[in-house]
Structure 1
């Protein structure tokens, strides 16, 4: 079983407006509301790949109910804890010229008792868990080292833990030595405290991190990725595809790593599978969605080259 953790979920509301500008009144029949948050993207992709997965985290209010109802409708298992306050909404207004205006709510504030209750709840979930994925930001009020605490609980049971976050939450999480992290260039630069000009610079910092983390994945977007695994460095080259929506491709890649680990794939097959999941997501209109047959086909086109 894969357990996904989303500690700051949202209802993602998307509106398509022909020619959006401020100060005007608009009507639209093109809109959608979906369960959002990086961890829920991972959950949906794992479900698409027919892997056993359960989602957990904290939800509150009517928006929390919307998320649970969507997961129920999709047949996805979940065990979220309820909290006071309203789960946040994130609004995106898309226009025909490709522009996107976003409004992100700050969301509820987690109390100390919410955090304590979640940790107890999480420990019970570990009894049925083989791989854990924690993705996204922390809710307001949560301690910055919360991911580190969760990693330590997981390591006590020798369960792989994949962490995909940023900023101080990532910095603190790294101290607890998760099994895998997936920073992009900007996040790696933030961690290193300096500009990284080329792949050699990225590899150098990733190798430093690999001294305490078995797998470090550096996402390069459409250019592929770099993976440092147990001091070996792999360069991932992607095929040319028609991109419809790249949002969520990083989350899909993390889902691929989780499923590959769950299925016992070797490292090169796991990397290719994860890269195929990220690419397949970019070829879909929906966020956090892949076609498992397309993933299988893309794996044959992806090159994973050992460079060091």
Structure 2
């Protein structure tokens, strides 16, 4: 199997706290919490490593608080090619209420300078020689604009790599213009990307997803939370739905989905098989606070419960 590279431009130490009900404007008592290295690409890499993939990570990492990240990569056998830059990687706060609702406090991250961008560009092109699958994930730090992300997508795609993008807002729109191999927006991110309101009606989602596919995106994956996942490629649309889970936290669910998609696609599996595993990983992710796969047997059991079926747009859909 091919080695996989994940790139996290704006990593973070995620402080996740559990509490009963969040009371805005008041003192809230957090019942338990943990602090762990994260960022979308880091999370994807961790799940991939748990599945047995050979994974390399890169991006920008603050020199002053890099140790937790370095320890994580060693612990999971992940090749560390992050660029260390002056400063501190951000800390994000995620407050998980007992009903599963998550409130994110995401900070902007440390500023990145032009020389750092040039260095990462060099590193990515160097790493592309040994990695056919490249995941570009998460937000962009100050100093990196959306056009730069588009340039990276284009350069890596022209190098013959399968580029997967999981980001949002202007960054997603810019990345789409460079035609990556796969994008994975959720419903809100899809609406932002196309600058068009989107209801959660199936026909509307399929029509909007079709717009991206017709723009040259070979794989359009739309995550819908409890309503499942939609995937469009040259074989048409597939829909997958998992049974309802007791939600502990939704943190890392989308990253687990991306990891499952890349793991299955790089192994050359059939589309339905890939989608079942990816959705199973995502469904199990919401049952835990931490990110990763602790029990592969649970994944196999969940795979058997995932419903996968073709889906088509109605003739009157926009």
Matching residue of 1:282: 286
- Contact preservation (8 Å) 2:62, 2:87: yes
Aligned with 1:133 (options 118, 135, 140): 135
- The answer to which of 273-282 and 94-103 deviates more is 94-103
Q: Which runs of 5+ in 2 are unaligned?
A: 313-318
* Aligned residues of 2:256 and 2:278 also touching (Cα < 8 A): yes
Q: Post-superposition shift, 1:55?
A: 1.0
Report the Cα distance in structure 2 between the residues aligned to 1:234 and 1:97, rounded to whole angstroms: 30
In structure 2, relative to structure 1, the CA distance for the partners of 1:269 and 1:101 (3 Å cut) is closer
3-state secondary structure, aligned to 1:3? strand
The answer to whether the Cα contact below 8 Å between 1:280 and 1:291 also exists between their aligned partners in 2 is: no
Choose from 172, 175, 181 the match for 1:173: 175
Matches within 5 A, 1:67-82: 67-82=69-84
Match of 2:230 among 226, 232, 240: 226
Write the deviation string for residues 13-40 of structure 1: whole angstroms up to 9, x where unpaired. Answer: 23456787657597x7833210011111
Instruction: Find the partner of 1:37 among 27, 36, 39.
Output: 39
1:9-28 equivalence runs, <5 A = 9-16=11-18
- The alpha-carbon deviation at position 273 of structure 1 amounts to 1.8
Counterparts of 1:194 and 1:172, CA distance in 2: 16
1-side partners of 2:109 and 2:44: how far apart? 21
**Structure 2 CA distance for partners of 1:196 and 1:82, relative to 1, 3 Å:** same
Structure-2 residue corresponding to 1:294 = 298
Q: Deviations over 1:273-302 (max 9, x none)?
A: 211111121233313445322222222221
1:145 is paired with a residue of what secondary structure?
A: helix
User: 1:217 — aligned with what?
Assistant: 221
1:174 deviation in Å? 0.3
CA drift at 1:63: 2.0
- 2:316 maps to what in 1? none
Do the aligned partners of 2:50 and 2:292 also contact (CA within 8 Å) in 1? Answer: no
**2:31 and 2:42 mapped to 1: Cα distance?**
26
TM-score normalised by structure 2 residue count: 0.88
C-alpha RMSD of the superposition:
2.3
- The CA distance in 1 between the partners of 2:20 and 2:115, in whole Å, is 46
On the 8 A contact 1:63/1:89 being kept in 2, the answer is no
CA distance in 2, matches of 1:216, 1:298: 24
What count of residue pairs does the alignment treat as equivalent?
A: 307
Shift of 1:154: 1.6
CA contact (8 A) 2:100 2:248 kept: no
TM-score by length of 1: 0.91
